[in-house]
Structure 1
């Protein structure tokens, strides 16, 4: 799996460098009602749009998966409660099984009665 990640990462680096090398022409960015214009290299505009898309996509995924994270926290707390309840029940069972009936004042169990 690490090898696949490394190969994908290196491929992305190669694609990014080739985009940067081949798209050096200046691009003018201007907002129409404002008389101000800025020139950037085309590769910078491409990378900025890619980065903005990644950030926007990450935010969308974060909010979409909020319900899943909430259910996971709820299930984890419920599992903790059940584990504590199980420990308490096991402790009570151990105490009940190892209790001496003579010392506790309870009558001892009798065997089967002869007919």
Structure 2
């Protein structure tokens, strides 16, 4: 990508320099209703006009992309919010699993290896 920039920039710079050297005649700039006039080299007038056009075009494109940048910013904020929600949900799930493990631990003395007595069946005696 860096080489592509140089491949494009160097010829444009060379053309601008050649244009400036070839067009050194002085021109007078005047804006009709205003009494001001300015004398400057022709190359300066042309290059300033190109620069103004470039900046105006850049501003128009930047302004046209405003809604896309706004949407991307909103979606980025939404992603951050959802990631935070996922982390909080994972923390709650971990805490719940920890509490469940604590509650399902055997009661003191029950896990000693002694047999746990089975529920005895009661027999009813009948009176005659």
Report the TM-score when normalising by structure 1: 0.78
The offset of 1:55, in angstroms, is: 1.6
User: Please, which runs of 5 or more residues in structure 2 have no aligned partner?
Assistant: 106-128
> How many pairs are equivalent?
103
Q: Give per-residue Cα distances to partners, 1:24-61, cap 9 Å, x unaligned.
A: 11222223344543322110011110111122112212
How far 1:97 sits from its partner (Å)? Answer: 2.9
Distance in structure 1 (CA, Å) of the matches to 2:36 and 2:81: 62
Normalised to the residue count of structure 2, the TM-score between the two structures is 0.71
Please name the residue that 2:84 is paired with: 84
Task: Tell me, yes or no, if structure 1 residue 71 matches structure 2 residue 42.
Answer: no
Q: Which residue of 1 aligns with 2:13?
A: 13
Q: Which of the pair is proportionally richer in helix? A: 1
Structure 1 residues without counterparts, runs of 5 or longer: 104-115
Tell me, in whole angstroms, the C-alpha distance in 1 between the residues paired with 2:67 and 2:81: 21
Q: What is residue 102 of structure 1 aligned with on the other side?
A: 104
